[in-house]
Amino acid sequence: MKAGAGLADILPADALEAAEEGAVRLGHLGSPESVVRPASVDEVVRVMHWANREKVGVLPLRSGRHTGPVTRSGPDGGRWIALCTARLAGIEIYEAADLTFTAGAGTPMRDLDATLRANGQWAPFDPPYVLDRSLGGLVATASCGPLAAGYGELRNHVLGMTVVTGDGRVLRLGGRVVKNVAGFDLIKPMTGSRGSLAVMTSICLRAFPVPQHDLVLMLAAPSAQELAKAAVAVVTAPVMPVATVLVDRLEAAGGAAALLVRLNGATDAVHADRRTIEQHVGRSFEALDPSASDAVLEASRDHAGWAAVRLLASASPSRLTDLLNAIRMAGPASFTVDPYPSIARIAFEMAHPDTLSALTRAVESIGGAVRVEHALDVGLRQEGSQPTPDETRLVERLRTAFDPEEVLWPARS
């Protein structure tokens, strides 16, 4: 029996309507038997109870843009549905004075950003295409960008969430204040779980005041390798920018490589930090015009954020030059590097499995690691270091506790 027939008995008709044009992109994910759009926690619970009875897999998503191909079958060997959170959207509670907000998991980050900025606040999280993501998708992937250096990783700012587990239990985790957990903090394993433990229905997140002064400095050179020394010098400077990113080519730099350094704070403090950084690096940076800096930051943020194959490569910051050389030897690719953790996001329009193998060997030879972030080519497999037996057992115990029938899973490439 097709999933749609059984779901029609438990959900209202509008939760089973055909996807709006472009709202859910499933072409590279495979073919679900149905796409459901619950509008409430209760409807999500009904879907999960039904999926457990029928042994049908459930893949939570919003648009599917940042979800990899489904290469794991459902519980009975193949049947699965997509659970779209688009109707679980909207700000539920906004405590501007407390710098917190609670919103549905399907709320677009673009809408949240507009509301926060209208109140002189923002959410300083900048993975690629962040404004095109949903709040739930952002938290489910624990996506971060260079701003994590100054504001901390996303997982440190998730204060609470409501989730529905794989077997249909509703859990309300955390709260709406910073210190709200006694005992084991279940928010931490949920953040970054990629839909493998529960369906997130609403999330409470911390906001930040928009800084008084936001300065973006740029240093350009013909190649990223020529900027490696300057990038390491910025990392070791006695002041810490809120973000630093090295881009292999940038239109604002005339198509050359660019090192961007972002400083936030009071105006006098920002200018003092700039002088300290330039003295430590031994070079003068160009200060971007405020009217142009947003576009430059967006271009660098999204530069290597969307391609058929995306890899994350990391190494010690002291081996940044070696990491850049390894990327260059891998062939034509676009990349950005966050010098603080020395993590590179590398994008290939086309890639052969041998490319990953060669890059992995080169990066591991300098003590680093490579992992596949996204790959439409399902033949491209993860190599390199694997979880320890203890780590594997811990993950499996978590999944058993939250999803005993293995109904939920992340899309895996």
Q: Classify residue 284 by its DSSP letter.
A: P
Domain range annotation of the chain: 3-85, 91-209, 213-297, 309-375
**What pLDDT digit, counting tens, does each position of 175-196 carry?**
876 555 555 688 999 999 989 9
**What pLDDT digit, counting tens, does each position of 107-126 carry?**
999 999 999 999 999 999 99
**Helix 228-235, helix 267-281: angle, nearest 10:** 130
Give the CATH fold of the 91-209 domain: 3.30.465
CB–CB of 101/199 below 8 Å? no
CA 217 to CA 44: how far, in whole Å?
47
CB–CB of 202/241 below 8 Å? no
CA 229 to CA 368: how far, in whole Å?
19
Instruction: Name the residue with higher pLDDT: 305 or 181.
Output: 305
Architecture in CATH for domain 309-375? 2-Layer Sandwich (3.30)
CA 8 to CA 2: how far, in whole Å?
11
Alpha helices (H) along 107-256: 109-118, 135-141, 148-151, 187-190, 228-235
CA 220 to CA 227: how far, in whole Å?
8
CA 218 to CA 354: how far, in whole Å?
35
- Percent of the chain clearing pLDDT 90 (strictly above): 68
Give the CATH fold of the 213-297 domain: Alpha-Beta Plaits (3.30.70)
Q: If pLDDT is split at 50, 70 and 90, which confidence band does 21 have?
A: very low
Give the CATH fold of the 3-85 domain: 3.30.43
**What pLDDT digit, counting tens, does each position of 204-247 carry?**
999 999 999 999 999 999 999 999 999 999 999 999 999 999 99
What is the average per-residue pLDDT within 75-82? 74
